[in-house]
């Protein structure tokens, strides 16, 4: 698997800086970028050469928080805040995934729509059901990568979604998935503090450590939810509750979605190179969760990526979420506290390399990185950085003519 692509590349190696290679060659071997050059060296003369001419090539998107089983609910029931929204719209939909046939149908559409929107890696919640394995296999089938979680819930939810053997079913899911793919991996996925008993959380934390698995969950999304967590875990903060179970990156990468209402006291708990905030700005707008202060995390050396949080978020479009991240930062500066807004370049970094680190070296065009990319045919003659920004703000998905994941053209 060796090829050379020629075209116009733009990406963000460094937070806040575009790096641009116009009319450059990029050599890929076994899915990884091995070289980058202005003139084609003789040693590559026999490699397959693909000429993209005027097209723009950018890193594909890394969606670090979303719910595959909520795909059919996109754009529905955006009239309620988190807790009643879960009860009214989300849990009944997730219940349908007890059926493998239903799961097969929806997960197939879901993964296609991810690719349509230019996403090639994702951290995804399935449901409590066996059918989460189908989601896992769909990622393999379509050639995209990421972490797939069978959700853990053994309290405070409708009976039909309350697991009796949450831990054992997690082991079963791991048995099926753990060494199945190079690009798709299982991830420990307690829904959030309210839905898992302390005993289960304890066991899941240990399991993650033992099997070297990542952990994903929700943290500090909504004020009512935070109050509820305080009742359940009165001796600590919401962040502190995850710390109890080693779920803040102590043992392996942890991804916590939202982090909207984080107190100063909680901030140091998040300062771990393996901890990631999954910023979900469209979801926070829609569910009235509040404005997350992303600059504050970045200034405190806390990792941040972007998630669409479908279907709290109403689109799988990472472009729209990147725009919403900029908008959130604008509003945060005006209405919460003085804080330098994110530039588009910074938000683009978060949606590509920022979240991409979770999946290894991906989300940037650097030597040694896996080549995940979008080839864009937008008929534009603008300078590349303007062209990129225009594409993010108001591009058309139809203009994404090719999609690469780990060097393989999947669209």
Contact residues toward a copy of itself (CB under 8 A) are 74-76, 78-79, 285-286, 288, 290-291, 314-317, 320, 323, 326-327, 330-331, 333-336, 341, 343-344, 382, 386, 389-394, 396-398
Closest to 363 in 3D by CA, of 186, 141, 125, 119: 119
* Closer by beta carbon to a copy of itself, 133 or else 261: 261
For residue 290, CA distances in Å to 231, 270, 304 come to 21, 19, 17
Q: Which residue's entry shows tokens 């991804």?
A: 255
Q: Give the CA radius of gyration of the chain.
A: 21
Structure tokens at 380: 């534009």
* Closer by beta carbon to a copy of itself, 133 or else 258: 258
Q: 341 Cβ partners below 8 Å, 6+ apart?
A: 295, 326, 329, 330, 332, 333
3-class DSSP assignment, residue 304: strand
- Minimum distance from residue 12 beta carbon to a copy of itself (Å): 16
* Closer by beta carbon to a copy of itself, 270 or else 384: 384
Q: How far apart are CA 133 and CA 136, in angstroms?
A: 5
* Closer by beta carbon to a copy of itself, 285 or else 359: 285
Are residues 157 and 151 in contact, defined by beta-carbon separation less than 8 angstroms? no
- Residue ranges with strand state E in 97-240: 119-125, 145-149, 151-152, 184-186, 189-190, 215-219
* Closer by beta carbon to a copy of itself, 2 or else 340: 340
- Minimum distance from residue 93 beta carbon to a copy of itself (Å): 12
- Minimum distance from residue 282 beta carbon to a copy of itself (Å): 8
Q: How far apart are CA 264 and CA 46, in angstroms?
A: 57
For residue 45, CA distances in Å to 33, 39, 40, 41 come to 17, 11, 7, 7
Neighbours of 266 (CB within 10 A): 19
- Minimum distance from residue 122 beta carbon to a copy of itself (Å): 17
Q: Looking at residue 260, what DSSP letter applies? A: -
Positive or negative CA dihedral for 57, 62, 63, 68? positive
- Minimum distance from residue 336 beta carbon to a copy of itself (Å): 7
Q: Which residues pair with 26 in a beta bridge?
A: 5, 36
* Closer by beta carbon to a copy of itself, 246 or else 283: 283
* Closer by beta carbon to a copy of itself, 77 or else 240: 77
- Minimum distance from residue 21 beta carbon to a copy of itself (Å): 21
- Minimum distance from residue 56 beta carbon to a copy of itself (Å): 14
- Minimum distance from residue 178 beta carbon to a copy of itself (Å): 34
* Closer by beta carbon to a copy of itself, 170 or else 328: 328
């Amino acid at each position: 698997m060796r090829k050379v692509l020629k075209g116009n590349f733009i990406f963000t190696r460094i937070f806040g800086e575009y790096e641009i290679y116009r009319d450059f060659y990029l050599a890929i071997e076994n899915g990884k970028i091995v070289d980058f050059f202005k003139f084609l060296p003789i040693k590559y003369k026999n490699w397959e050469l693909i000429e993209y001419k005027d097209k723009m090539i950018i890193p594909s998107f890394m969606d670090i928080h979303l719910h595959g089983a909520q795909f059919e609910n996109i754009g529905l029931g955006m009239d309620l805040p988190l807790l009643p929204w879960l009860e009214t719209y989300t849990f009944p939909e997730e219940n349908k995934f007890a059926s493998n046939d239903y799961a097969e149908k929806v997960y197939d559409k879901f993964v296609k729509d991810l690719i349509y929107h230019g996403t090639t890696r994702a951290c995804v919640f399935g449901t409590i059901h066996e059918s989460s394995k189908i989601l896992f296999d769909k990622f393999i089938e379509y050639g995209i990568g990421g972490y797939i979680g069978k959700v853990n819930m053994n309290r405070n939810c409708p009976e039909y979604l309350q697991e009796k053997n949450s831990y054992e079913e997690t082991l079963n899911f791991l048995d099926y998935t753990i060494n199945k793919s190079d690009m798709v991996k299982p991830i420990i996925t307690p829904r959030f503090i309210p839905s898992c008993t302390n005993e289960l959380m304890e066991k899941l934390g240990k399991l993650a450590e033992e099997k070297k698995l990542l952990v994903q969950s929700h943290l500090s999304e909504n004020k009512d939810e935070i109050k509820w967590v305080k009742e359940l875990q009165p001796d600590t903060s919401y962040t502190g509750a995850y710390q109890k179970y080693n779920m803040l990156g102590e043992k392996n990468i942890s991804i916590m979605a939202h982090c909207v209402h984080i107190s100063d006291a909680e901030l140091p708990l998040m300062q771990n190179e393996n901890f990631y905030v999954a910023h979900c700005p469209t979801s926070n707008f829609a569910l009235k969760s509040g404005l997350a202060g992303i600059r504050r995390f970045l200034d405190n050396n806390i990792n941040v990526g972007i998630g669409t949080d479908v279907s709290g978020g109403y689109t799988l479009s990472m472009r729209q979420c990147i725009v919403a991240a900029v908008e959130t930062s604008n509003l945060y500066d005006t209405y919460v506290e003085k804080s330098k807004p994110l530039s588009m370049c910074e938000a683009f970094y978060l949606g590509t390399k920022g979240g991409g680190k979770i999946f290894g070296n991906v989300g940037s065009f650097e030597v040694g990185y896996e080549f995940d990319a979008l080839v864009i045919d937008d008929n534009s003659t603008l300078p590349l950085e303007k062209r990129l920004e225009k594409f993010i703000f108001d591009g058309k998905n139809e203009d994404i003519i090719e999609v690469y994941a780990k060097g393989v053209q999947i669209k």
